[in-house]
């Protein structure tokens, strides 16, 4: 593979969730290119499995799409060094009002490798116990549950499009359901 060399990085905007940079890259043919780069502190997500086998999901409004989405519970790390299992447990309780008796790492994914370094660790939560929901001041969501097969059908019907949710449900079904329709 040819060599790429970053020769500069300029912070364009520091945001609440992301930092946006413009990188100057020397590409293999010797030319100089300007590439966008987004730094993200990371996130954790949870496939929460109730005792009846149904998966907890959250329905919430997403500004970027200007519509509601159906997603697995998830949220950003408080800082880049926060252990993702702690963040997953926190987000599960905050968003759904359930605590996990057991958390197991299912997969790690990178959401948009062309311009962003966001990494999400996805856990499977079992042995759920009822607790209290602790939503952020600007967070309004509904907690619903579905059979895994229903969710897979929604993925293939293009009703669930969130990347972390699609990846997590299909990985969960592949590992634990032994069938991905």
Q: Report the catalytic residues.
A: 137
CA-CA distance, 146 to 51, in Å (whole number)?
12
CA-CA distance, 166 to 174, in Å (whole number)?
12
Phi (first) and psi of residue 4, to 5 degrees: -110, 145
Scanning 2-124, the segments in alpha helix (DSSP H) are 84-96
Scanning 11-159, the segments in alpha helix (DSSP H) are 84-96, 148-156
Say how far residue 34 (Cα) sits from the centre of its chain. Answer: 28
**Degrees to nearest 5, angle at CA 136 with 97 and 38:** 115
Which whole-number Å values give the CA distances from 176 to 34, 148, 169, in the listed order? 44, 10, 10
DSSP-assigned beta bridge partners for residue 14: 19
CA-CA distance, 154 to 99, in Å (whole number)?
26
């Amino acid at each position: 593979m040819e060599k790429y060399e970053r020769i500069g990085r300029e912070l364009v905007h520091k945001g609440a969730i992301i930092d946006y940079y413009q990188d100057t890259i020397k590409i293999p043919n010797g030319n100089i290119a300007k590439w966008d780069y987004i730094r993200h502190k990371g996130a954790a997500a949870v496939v929460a499995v109730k005792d009846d086998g149904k998966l907890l999901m959250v329905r919430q409004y997403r500004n970027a799409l200007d519509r509601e989405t159906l997603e697995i519970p998830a949220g950003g790390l408080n800082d880049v060094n926060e252990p993702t299992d702690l963040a997953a447990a926190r987000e599960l309780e905050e968003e759904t009002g359930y605590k996990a008796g057991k958390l197991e790492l299912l997969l790690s994914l990178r959401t948009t490798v062309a311009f962003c370094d966001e990494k999400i660790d996805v856990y499977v939560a079992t042995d759920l116990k009822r607790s209290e929901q602790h939503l952020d001041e600007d967070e309004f969501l509904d907690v619903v549950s579905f059979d895994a097969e229903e969710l897979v059908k929604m993925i293939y019907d293009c009703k669930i499009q969130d990347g972390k949710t699609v990846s997590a449900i299909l990985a969960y079904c592949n590992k634990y359901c032994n069938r991905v329709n």
